[in-house]
Structure 1
Amino acid sequence: MAMARSTPRIAASTGDGHLRCWDLPTATLSWTQDVHAGRLRSLSFDDSGDVLAACGGDGSVRVWHASTGDFRSRFSSPSGWARAVTVDGPGDRVAVGSGTGDIAVRHLGTDRFTSNLSGHTGRILMLGFMGDENRLVSAAADGTVRVWSLDEQRQIAEVRVDASLHCAASEPAMGEVLVGSAAGVVALGIMDT
């Protein structure tokens, strides 16, 4: 499930690859798609709620115009198994994290990958662009949360949380990351670098 920040819009998927998008607060179903990608693992809107990206079990990332459901693009994760996806604030770039721990960033205007980041040794659980849009935060099953500089194509910070990290969420404006592990430990970290 994903919720747009500034537009009252929400998207959710079913276990068999159906995607639905609603306008809020009326809960009016705007559109639905049968994505044919297996189970959708991650959904993300840009800040305006105009761009929606999803990655599925088939390893591909699909992008739609969120207001209409019109298809915009499709690409495969360079590392195959797509596990997490995020769209930057302006809706220009999509980052996809793989089951191998690699991360790729694709520019939607040029349809080219602009960054390939590696360092995680477990599947990517969460990705988020930070407030300045040059920084990307990632959390992986290897128990680490990392911050990446996209301009420099390198990791600039790492926090080891727990070897059994299961889920995470980020808040870009504040640079905060919330994580949960199998031990039930939930930590809030400030990723201001």
Structure 2
Amino acid sequence: MLPIYVVNNYGQFNHLILRSLRDMDVEATMISNETAPAEVAEGCRGIILGGGPMIERAGRAAEYLGLGIPVLGICLGLHIMATGRGGTVVKGASGGYGAVGVDLVCKNDLLAGYPDRIRVWASHADEVSVMPGGFTLLARSNICGVEAMADLENRLYGLQWHPEVSHTENGRLVFENFDRICRE
């Protein structure tokens, strides 16, 4: 079975994403965000756009959104997805990194098995202010209107929070659900 690619956007937690998948016995490989889209399309069954310091260092990551492969964007990965599909990202009013209560407003394949409210760890230095056309709001909090969004038809999912850190309530479930999506 082909691996899930974790796209390294130079974030401090990209290796935790990779380790989380491997600890679940999911075949996963980290790749550069400069990898040619054709190479990505041939080599994987799913893509996780990891976090990073700034969208200007995202390389070719936005080009992976149109490959017809499921994509999960985490933090900066969400922002790459939003701007790559015509949405808007702005500096977050709250900033910082810490615990946030998130309300799930649309149950779907990625968030299956979660209660209506979960506690997560997120950075809100930047956040999506306008979702792209065709995307559905999945979750919000009292400090961020778009904590999660998805283009369900094209299997593009984005999270503001970090499921790979131990402080996020049952973050592993996101990866289990994404792995299942990538097998369909």
* TM-score normalised over the length of structure 1: 0.28
Structure with larger Rg: 1
**More relative contact order, 1 or 2 (CA 8 Å, 6+ apart):** 2
Q: Which has the higher strand share?
A: 1
Structure with the higher helix share, 1 or 2: 2
TM-score, scaled relative to structure 2: 0.29
